[in-house]
Amino acid sequence: MIILREIQRHAKEQPHKVALIESDIEVKYLQLWQRILSASEYFKTVGSKGDRVMLAANKSVSFVYAYFGAQLAGLITVTVDSAVNSLRLKRIFDSASPIAIYGNLDGIQNEYKVIPFSEIDIEKTVDDSDLAFPNESDMADILFTTGTTGFPKGVVLSHKNEYNAATMINEFIGNTCDDVELLALPISHSFGLGRLRCTLVKGGTIDLLGSFANVKKFFREMETRKATGFGMVPASWNFLKRTSGEKIGQYADQLRYIEIGSAPMKLEDKEMLIRLLPNTRVCMHYGLTEASRSMFVCFNEEKDHLNSIGTPSPNVSAKIFGESGEEMPVGEPGELCVKGGHICCAYWGADKDKYGDSFFGKYFRTGDWGYKDENGYFYLISRKKELINVGGKKVSPIEVEEVINRVDGVADSACISVPDEVLGEAVKAFVVKGKAELSEKAIIDYAKSCLEGYKVPVCVEFIDEIPKTSSGKVQRLLLK
């Protein structure tokens, strides 16, 4: 089964049910399917099966038509943030070699030929009686995550991977066709795209909200649309709490579920949500782009295990392995590894042997260190990798260092994470001066001109030397 077939089924069984909302726009399932079909016919004239098409994602119905239309045509979608910086975009572009870019790229529109979504014909009438759907094993998405090398890593997800992920998430959370979800998450990342797919697979309604920044709009939509759930990262909860206090508790009888993920959450915040929403399934996931939502814990039902990352999701198996691939006994630390039909099918541009290095047998190696207790709950000890987690968005220290090292007067640099009360973590830069007049402000101002805001260092410390191994590898942990 693939997600596109489910959308077609809903179009036939509940054609007048609202599928998408964008401000005052309401799109019913039959309209959604017809526009996906029309977009698919357009993309068939643009490329052939297996070609990549880059989509600068925004929360609009036009993006949804393009996303599913391109996949129905057999193309592979490569979604990027519309605010992506030029360095990251170039690396993704060079790796994926897309045949075209659609949407809008903030600030760097003129560097590439970018076709507006409005150019995609969505009004053509298409008969789907003899429609050829993609195969389950065909590539659907390449999601570029930030690796520890600083170069984006292309995670390849098949149609089957994405269907399996959506169905297991819905099973744990308990989503139904009656759900109305507010989508305030970025739609260019695994979490936000996953919530879109989960809702449409079930035949529910998804409200494409801008973001959590407009709190008044968030609560207005909550009321007018009678929303039953939403997804958020812990940083979003910190923002809602700071700007609206305990107002979310007013919707305790309305909200059926909340999905939280992408970053750690403080115990007191989990307990606060239990108190404010005693009958809501407040679920927190653990996962990676390669292995979306591999574990879950439901706060209200598992109050004694709130410090854990939960237990494996439906149809997922998890084990702790030692560095040589041996399974570790209960309570003993090792690498957390997971198995299931949601695991990515490849890394873009990597050969099978390199992809195979990511596994111990059939278990995918997450790169996170943890242990399992006697009750079957899993706990994380530390991140094995050096990525910086800013409000659920992963930042490569190397990407930031490359920018800083271009500043006149910088001899060397290294970046680490530091605690942040709102975002969980923030970027701190250590810099070796090449000349005395170099200032912290000059470095931060330059970083702001090259990087997304969440990647800009919040502070700079000048030091005499960056610690490195004999082979020249930066030892960032020594700077903590």
**Tens-place pLDDT, residues 451-477:** 999 999 999 999 999 987 544 567 787
**Residues 208 and 183: beta-carbon distance below 8 Å:** yes
Q: Are residues 362 and 469 in the same domain?
A: no
Element (H, E) at 161: helix 159-173
Residue 31 lies in a domain: yes
Q: Are residues 461 and 313 in the same domain?
A: no
Report the mean per-residue pLDDT for the chain: 93
Give the up-direction half-sphere exposure of residue 184: CA atoms within 13 A in the CB hemisphere.
25
Q: Are residues 408 and 455 in the same domain?
A: yes
Q: Are residues 291 and 415 in the same domain?
A: no
Q: Are residues 219 and 148 in the same domain?
A: yes
| Model pLDDT, residue 200 | 98
Q: Which residue has the higher pLDDT, 332 or 393?
A: 332
Six token digits for residue 42: 């357009």
Give backbone dihedrals phi and psi of 173, rounded to 5 degrees, phi first.
-75, -30
At residue 359, does pLDDT exceed 50? yes
Tell me the angle at which helices 3-13 and 190-202 cross, rounded to the nearest 10 degrees: 40
The domain boundary, picked from 312, 338, 372, lies at 372
Q: Is 137 helix (H, G, I), strand (E, B) or coil?
A: coil
Q: Are residues 315 and 443 in the same domain?
A: no
Residue 378 lies in a domain: no
The domain boundary, picked from 372, 401, 428, lies at 372
Residue partners of 267: CB distance under 8 A and separation at least 6: 306, 307
Closest CA to 410 of 378, 435, 441: 435
Q: What is the CATH number of the domain that holds 470?
A: 3.30.300.30
Beta strand residue intervals within 58-159, DSSP E: 76-81, 101-102, 114-115, 139-146, 152-158
Six token digits for residue 98: 């897309």
Residue 382 lies in a domain: no
Show the domain range for 14.
3-372
Residue 178 lies in a domain: yes
In Å, how far are 301, 310, 320, 377, 423 from 304, measured between CA atoms? Answer: 9, 11, 22, 11, 25
Q: Whole-angstrom Cα distance, residue 128 to residue 143?
A: 29
Residue 379 lies in a domain: no
Q: Whole-angstrom Cα distance, residue 279 to residue 218?
A: 21
pLDDT band (50, 70, 90) for residue 264: confident
Q: Are residues 96 and 135 in the same domain?
A: yes
At residue 394, does pLDDT exceed 80? no
Q: Are residues 334 and 431 in the same domain?
A: no
Q: Are residues 219 and 310 in the same domain?
A: yes
Q: Are residues 336 and 193 in the same domain?
A: yes
Q: What is the CATH number of the domain that holds 16?
A: 3.40.50.12780
At residue 48, does pLDDT exceed 50? yes
Residue 383 lies in a domain: no
Six token digits for residue 374: 């006697």
Residue 12 lies in a domain: yes
The domain boundary, picked from 342, 372, 402, lies at 372
Angle at 239 between CA 234 and CA 243, to 5 degrees: 150
Q: Are residues 359 and 428 in the same domain?
A: no
Residue 292 lies in a domain: yes
Number of domains making up the chain? 2
pLDDT in tens, 87-146: 889 999 999 999 999 998 886 756 788 999 999 999 988 999 889 999 999 999 999 986
| Model pLDDT, residue 421 | 87
At residue 149, does pLDDT exceed 60? no
Q: Are residues 340 and 426 in the same domain?
A: no
